[in-house]
Amino acid sequence: MTGAEALVRMLEAQGVSHIFGLCGDTTLPFYDAMARMQPEITHILTRDERHAGYMADGYARVTGKPGICEGPSGGGATYILPGLVEANESSIPVLAITSDVSTASRGRYPLTELDQQALFAPLVKFTASLDNAARLPATVRQAFRAMTTGRPGAAQLTLPFDTQKGVVEAAEIWADPETRTYPARRAGAEPEAIERMVAVLRQAKRGVIVCGGGPLLAGAMAALAQVAEALGMPVATTVSGQGAIAETHPLALGVVGSNGGVAATRAVMEEADVVLYVGCRAGSVTTERWRVPGPSARILHIDADPMVLGANYLTEVAICADAKLALEALAAALGVSVGDNGGVARAEKAWAEKLAAFGPLATSQERPIRPEAVMAALMETLPRDCVVVADPGTPCPYVSAHLRWPEAGRHFITNRAHGALGYSLAAAMGAQVGRPTAKVLSLMGDGSFAFCAGEMETIMRYKLPIISVVFSNSVFGWIKAGQHSGFGQRYHNVDFSRTDHAAVARAYGMQAFTIEDPAQLVPVFRQALALNAPVMIDILSQPLHEAAAPVSEWVA
């Protein structure tokens, strides 16, 4: 068989059911193989390669399978890169297959020539050029091993035009079933390290568990709850860790850190005598630039990446292991109940203080509409099995602080690694493809909308029943809020003209609403949820620099 045909068969063998991508001259043999062979793989045609990468990311987060995207040489490879960077830093396995000029034409100035390995190597977990067709199956297997084992991450394969026409032996077409999902080949914890960690946890009086995205990736939610309940210890999360525990659980503290954390949650972290980080890098946002917890706290850490352990704090016990296996071992060692850190009381107090501040803002009838009012309307109307995808601007801190998730699991997605605008809509599309029975919402600012408006055609073409919500305030709000709080309110070149987003959506054939009155939020959300069709909701909202955003660096 040809290299292009072998690639199709290898993707089938790896359990791939969806590919997101965009056609190009150098990819013609692969597209022809897909057309002739009719594999059980659905190809989703996107409007640009960047969004193909974000769709693969959202798909991978909700399915537990690697997301696959593809694009052509030259500009296609450069456009697909942002999706891989975000996925890799977020520990999400996304494979990008980018075609290339023939190997024989390299160095002769062919159109779209680009050193793809030099481009991708610093930014992904694995990259290779499939220069030898005979080695194509083995290299594809290697990419899937790299993506799914250890700390999951992104991979990229360069597919030269002549390789697609080369010869591959049919006997080479096979896959390792373990690498069809992630995390694969999990590493367990050393028993001696578990014993030492248990000894410290038993001594804690005001301990806190802080979870990043690791427990979600590992499916460790039940084991986490078991450990917390045995210790009577509250569980906080990062923005990426939301869903590690149901936020209605008595021990759930909610999000901590400078994005989504509030004074009440910060107080719990400042008072902690022991902090156990699980699947969390303890980076700048979670720790408010490494100021919280304080220097007297004893630090414990569990992570699948050995380079994370001890990177930011002197760590008393560090365990390099899969979050699920490590937490299960901790739960077994702890037994049913070993102490009471007063976790329920501390969590209840924090929520009460947070809700007391949130309530008046959430019921406000002010115009432009307060973001808190939007969060309250969403909490009143959203089904339990929904998936909300938020861009990092206006929506993210409000969702993180105030949208209280009633069930554990992956219900919230945001791009917290690099925070590129324009992520939400595409990632929501990938999530909808991966979880077709769920109600999926994309929340974005109007700055983000301009990055991704073209993909509304893709939504309509595939009839994806996504509800897109735009917080419309005609400003790059996060930057203006920073200018407001830290640069003497000297606003420079961050405002832009108002767009009628609903009219744009209607031009694509989408049903759309514009909301100026907060009293219309709940009725419109209910109507949109009942339609089971693509919907755009354009909300004229308060800009961040005038709002009470839960971002600590903006709070005096």
Question: Is residue 63 assigned to a domain?
Answer: yes
Q: CA–CA separation, 498 vs 203, rounded Å?
A: 57
Which residue type sits at 261? G
Residues 166 and 280 grouped into a single domain: no
Last residue of a domain, one of 160, 180, 200: 180
Place of tokens 């203006």: 480
Q: CA–CA separation, 222 vs 224, rounded Å?
A: 5
- CATH number of the domain within which 269 lies: 3.40.50.1220
Question: Is residue 531 assigned to a domain?
Answer: yes
- The four Cα atoms 422, 428, 430, 433 give a dihedral, to 10 degrees, of -150
Q: CA–CA separation, 493 vs 479, rounded Å?
A: 10
Q: Of 414, 438, 431, give the one whose Cα is nearest residue 255.
A: 414
Tokens of 240: 């990426």
Residues 529 and 453 grouped into a single domain: yes
Question: Is residue 544 assigned to a domain?
Answer: yes
Three-state DSSP state, 298: strand
Q: Using alpha carbons, list the distances in angstroms from residue 72 to 80, 126, 164, 419.
A: 9, 19, 13, 25
Residues 342 and 368 grouped into a single domain: no
What value, to the nearest 5°, has the Cα angle with vertex 87 and ends 221 and 51? 120
Residues 296 and 155 grouped into a single domain: no
Question: Is residue 186 assigned to a domain?
Answer: no
Range of the domain at 206: 191-346
Question: Is residue 354 assigned to a domain?
Answer: no
pLDDT at 554: 87
Last residue of a domain, one of 180, 209, 236: 180
Q: CA–CA separation, 466 vs 452, rounded Å?
A: 14
Residues 486 and 549 grouped into a single domain: yes
- The four Cα atoms 9, 15, 18, 23 give a dihedral, to 10 degrees, of -30
Q: CA–CA separation, 541 vs 546, rounded Å?
A: 10
- CATH number of the domain within which 539 lies: 3.40.50.970
- The four Cα atoms 150, 93, 169, 27 give a dihedral, to 10 degrees, of -150
Q: CA–CA separation, 323 vs 327, rounded Å?
A: 6
Q: In what order do the strands lie in the sheet with 274-278?
A: 252-255, 235-237, 208-211, 274-278, 298-303, 317-320
Residues 201 and 168 grouped into a single domain: no
pLDDT at 247: 97
Dihedral angle sign, alpha carbons of residues 39, 44, 48, 50? negative
Q: CA–CA separation, 226 vs 237, rounded Å?
A: 16
pLDDT at 553: 85
Count of all residues that appear for the chain in the document: 556
**Residues 322 and 186: beta-carbon distance below 8 Å:** yes
Three-state DSSP state, 168: coil
DSSP state of 289: T
**Residues 104 and 93: beta-carbon distance below 8 Å:** no
pLDDT at 423: 98
pLDDT at 393: 87
Which residue type sits at 25? D
Q: Of 140, 173, 155, give the one whose Cα is nearest residue 2.
A: 173
Tokens of 41: 């793989």
Residues 234 and 321 grouped into a single domain: yes
pLDDT at 186: 98
Q: CA–CA separation, 126 vs 84, rounded Å?
A: 11
Q: CA–CA separation, 199 vs 330, rounded Å?
A: 11
- Where the chain has pLDDT below 70, the residues are 338-339, 556
pLDDT at 341: 80
Q: CA–CA separation, 473 vs 480, rounded Å?
A: 12
Number of domains composing the chain: 3
Strand-strand pairing, 252-255 and 18-21: unpaired
Q: In what order do the strands lie in the sheet with 387-390?
A: 412-414, 387-390, 440-445, 467-472, 535-540, 511-515
Question: Is residue 356 assigned to a domain?
Answer: no
Residues 136 and 217 grouped into a single domain: no
Question: Is residue 342 assigned to a domain?
Answer: yes
Residues 315 and 431 grouped into a single domain: no
Backbone angles phi, psi at 311, to 5 degrees: -70, -35
Question: Is residue 112 assigned to a domain?
Answer: yes
Residues 158 and 195 grouped into a single domain: no
Q: Using alpha carbons, list the distances in angstroms from residue 54 to 215, 231, 232, 430, 454.
A: 22, 39, 39, 7, 14
Residues 280 and 195 grouped into a single domain: yes
Which residues, including other chains, have CB under 8 Å from residue 518's CB and lie 6 or more apart?
A: 364, 365, 366, 367, 369, 370, 373, 377
Q: CA–CA separation, 164 vs 2, rounded Å?
A: 6
The alpha carbon of residue 499 and the mean position of all alpha carbons in its chain are separated, in whole angstroms, by: 28
- Based on the number of CB atoms within 10 Å of its own CB, is 43 exposed (0-12), middle (13-18) or buried (19 or more)? middle
Dihedral angle sign, alpha carbons of residues 30, 32, 38, 43? positive
pLDDT at 79: 98
Residues 307 and 220 grouped into a single domain: yes
Last residue of a domain, one of 152, 180, 208: 180
Residue 308 CB neighbour total at 10 angstroms:
23
Tokens of 255: 């999000």
